[in-house]
Structure 1
Amino acid sequence: MSAHLPLRRLILVVDDDPILLDYLVTVLDHAGYDTVKAASAAEALQRVAEREADIALALLDISMPGMSGLELALRLREHTSVAFMFLSSVDDAETARQAASHGAVGFVVKPVDAARLLPSFESALARADEIRQLRRTEANLNAALASGRETSLAVGLLMTRFQTDRNTAFEVLRDHARSTRRKINEVAEQLVAAEELLNSLHGAFVGRLKGK
Structure 2
Amino acid sequence: MLNIFKSKIYLKDLLQGITDIHNHILPGIDDGAANEIDSVQLLLKFKELGITKFIATPHVMNDYYPNTRETINNALSLLKNKIIEDQELQKVKIKAAAEYMMDQSFMEILEKKELLCLNENYVLVEMSFFQAPINLNEILFKLQTQGYRPILAHPERYAFYHSKDLSKYADLKNRGCLFQINALSLSPHYGSQIQEIGFRLLEAG
Q: TM-score, normalised by structure 2?
A: 0.34
More RCO (CA 8 Å, sep 6+)? 2
Pick the structure with more helix per residue: 1
